[in-house]
Amino acid sequence: RKEVEQDPGPFNVPEGATVAFNCTYSNSASQSFFWYRQDCRKEPKLLMSVYSSGNEDGRFTAQLNRASQYISLLIRDSKLSDSATYLCVVNSRGSTLGRLYFGRGTQLTVWP
């Protein structure tokens, strides 16, 4: 079983739509959770960290459910510029604390 599983999509939504991505992780001892964004032919960049109580950054809301080992990302009022691949990322614990495991990514296309 992979450390991080994501629905690869693609998700094709019109501008202004609300879209949600989900992700599950296998290591219950994981401690840090992130969403990264990767544009076509570019490097991954941090979109937001995910905190236990859930957190919001403008149009983006991240949720964490530790009991179900499930992470979500909600994008409201989608913009054309949101088109990208969204990577769910978790760390491991213990001696490999700094190691991050990346999901395969969910591709989003926002159309006008």
Separation in Å, CA 93 to CA 15, 30, 31, 96, 101: 39, 6, 7, 6, 11
Q: Quick one: which of 52, 44, 48, 85 has its CA closest to 69?
A: 52
- Tell me which of 18, 26, 31, 52 binds other proteins, using CB under 8 A: 31
* End-to-end alpha carbon distance in the chain: 38
- Tell me which of 63, 73, 91, 108 binds other proteins, using CB under 8 A: 91
**What is the DSSP secondary structure assignment for residue 94, as one 8-state letter?**
G
Task: Specify the residue, 20 or 46, whose C-beta has the smaller distance to other proteins.
Answer: 46
Q: Is 104 in the site for other proteins (CB under 8 A)?
A: yes
Size of the site for other proteins (CB under 8 A): 21
Q: Give residues in contact with other proteins (CB under 8 A).
A: 31-32, 34, 42-46, 49, 85, 87, 91, 93, 96-100, 102, 104-105
